Amino acid sequence: MTETMNEATTDPTCIFCRIAAGSIPATVVARNHQAMAFRDLNPQAPSHILVIPLRHVDSLASADNPCEVGGALALAAEVAEAEGLGEGGYRVVTNIGRDGGQTVQHLHFHVLGGRQLHWPPG
């Protein structure tokens, strides 16, 4: 099922909203009725996929729909399994605000794997 994007659910200035709407190309790897997943253009691991809600949400701090966040996280787990990351492990990360490292003001989860991920991340 494809959700219809409209003015109430998108920000026309947001790059991730434009990717979700199909007006900016991306290598989409999965999609459900609440979220989509696509390859990061600047990968930090052999597998680096971004999972975004289809509706514009600034960050996890302003998320108001637990089902929407859950749908995005469920898609992150599906993508990790499809990438073959389940056995070796992977990391799912979201950055919130400037000090948290958020550079795009649209909630997104990074699915990272395919190599040893060290802690603390930095």
Catalytic (active-site) positions: 108
Residue type, 41: L
User: In the chain, how many H helices and how many E strands?
Assistant: 3, 5
112, HSE (Cβ side, Cα atoms, 13 Å): 16
